[in-house]
Amino acid sequence: MSPRLPMLLLALSLLGLVPAAHAQAPGGPPAVGIARVEKKAVTETSEFVGRVQAIDRVALTARVTAFLEERLFTEGTEVQQGDLLYKLERGPFEAAVSQQEAAVADASARLTNANIQLSRAQSLLNTPAGQRSSVDDALANQRSQAAQLMSAQAQLKAAQINLAYTEIRAPVAGKISRTAITVGNVVSPSSGSLATIVSQDPMYVLFPVATRVQDELRKRYADRGGLSAAVVRLRFADGSTYGQEGKIDYVDPTVATNTDTVLIRAKIGNPPRRPVQPGEPVDRQLIDGEFVTVLVEGMQPIQALGIPRRAVLSDQQGDYVYVVGADNKVEQRRIHLGQSTPSTAVVDTGLKEGEMVVVDGIQRVRPGITVSPGPSSPPPAGPSR
């Protein structure tokens, strides 16, 4: 080979015309940065796609037919349980109550007279003027009047219930939607929903998990209290992490046959992000129905073999790293990764504690070559949030 060829290759590599792996550093083997395989405290994390869901959701509907007279809430704000939201026309229902009260009074008077007639017939039974048939007739009339009173009382109660339905109150606390029917319209049970209330704090997060993954999670947390011991965190679409932690409180007993997944539910807090002002919408971070990334984490970190994530390469056969031996020769090693983080790769199999892997200068490394190892550079700092 011409003695000028190495110099030519080096010049071409500097110009970007020859790959750097084909250019050797002048005067010796290529320099690389290495890191030691060592045990690290790693928090096991599994990611799933989930959806936020309100715990309580109530559609407000009219229970009687009447004119809608007044709306007493601000759309989009939060209401408390028992707050008066709508007023319906009361006049016809108040009249119905008065009519039934009169019917109860009439039935009560008739029953009182029937009791007197029965008592008189029974007192005359043992005298020459007494007759058994008179007693029987008085007893039958008394029982009939008692039944009439009970019927009138029941109709009065129904009228009072209908009168109460002219005030529509919040059955749960939460954020109320816009009103679907405005003041002045006639509403009835067939009019549909007037507005919807969804509870705000806490919230549910539902996420489907493949049955295989569910079995792995169950085994992983079996000796730590089960899935309820796992910590649930949320990540939003912009990459930011939610500040509250949740707990798994429900696992669906049925597997979805079309996806082979099990639905898991967690409960997580949703407090206001700033002080609440009366009559103003409350700013909370979680919104009913939004998609989030669910992170299921162990409560305590575990000790596992870890290496810098940037030392791991992949091809069609899987993941691998370059290991530097005692003689500074490079060996390609296939590995199997466990629950990794963006900065640390957890190695289940393929490496031993104390071995050295190439982190920096990987593009200059090939199996079997000799390298000049040195400490790897620290990873770049992530963006602050």
Residues 6 or more apart from 159 whose CB is under 8 A from it? 93, 96, 97, 99, 100
> CATH second-level architecture of 62-88+168-198?
Beta Barrel (2.40)
CB contact at 8 A, 204 and 266: yes
Of 29-38, 267-276, 294-303, give the lowest mean pLDDT range: 294-303
Res 219 pLDDT > 50: yes
| Cα 234 from Cα 294, distance rounded (Å) | 5
High-pLDDT (> 90) share of the chain, %:
35
Crossing angle of the two packed helices 132-164 and 91-123, in degrees rounded to 10: 160
Residues 6 or more apart from 319 whose CB is under 8 A from it? 312, 313, 334, 335, 336, 337
Res 278 pLDDT > 60: yes
- Segment 302-357, tens digit of pLDDT: 677 888 888 888 888 888 989 998 888 888 888 887 766 667 777 888 888 888 88
Q: State the average pLDDT for the chain.
A: 82
CA angle (16, 18, 24) in 5-degree steps: 105
Question: What is the pLDDT, as a whole number, of residue 256?
Answer: 85
| Cα 49 from Cα 259, distance rounded (Å) | 14
Domain boundaries, the chain: 29-41+304-375, 46-55+200-274+281-297, 62-88+168-198, 91-164
| CB neighbour class for 237 (10 Å; exposed up to 12, middle 13-18, buried from 19) | exposed
273 versus 102: the higher-pLDDT residue is: 102
CB contact at 8 A, 65 and 91: no
The highest-level CATH class for domain 91-164 is: mainly alpha
Question: What is the pLDDT, as a whole number, of residue 382?
Answer: 47
Going by C-alpha positions, the residue among 204, 201, 202, 197 that lies closest to residue 175 is 197
CATH of 46-55+200-274+281-297, one of 3.30.1280.10, 3.40.50.300, 2.40.30.170, 3.90.550.10: 2.40.30.170
Domain 29-41+304-375 belongs in CATH node 3.40.50.10380: no
Question: What is the pLDDT, as a whole number, of residue 237?
Answer: 87
Mean pLDDT across the stretch 253-276?
A: 89
Do the two domains 29-41+304-375 and 91-164 of this chain adopt the same fold? no
Burial of 253-263, coded b for 16+ CB within 10 Å and e otherwise, reads eeeeeeeebbb
Residues 6 or more apart from 195 whose CB is under 8 A from it? 59, 60, 75, 85, 176, 177, 178, 179, 180
- Segment 67-80, tens digit of pLDDT: 999 999 988 899 99
Beta strands 261-268 and 246-251 are: antiparallel
Question: What is the pLDDT, as a whole number, of residue 263?
Answer: 92
Retrieve residue 171's tokens.
Answer: 């059955």
Q: What one-character-per-residue DSSP string does 24-79 give?
A: PPTTSSPEEEEEE-EEEEE--EEEEEEEEEES-EEEE--SS-EEEEEE-S-TTSEE
Mean pLDDT across the stretch 16-20?
A: 43
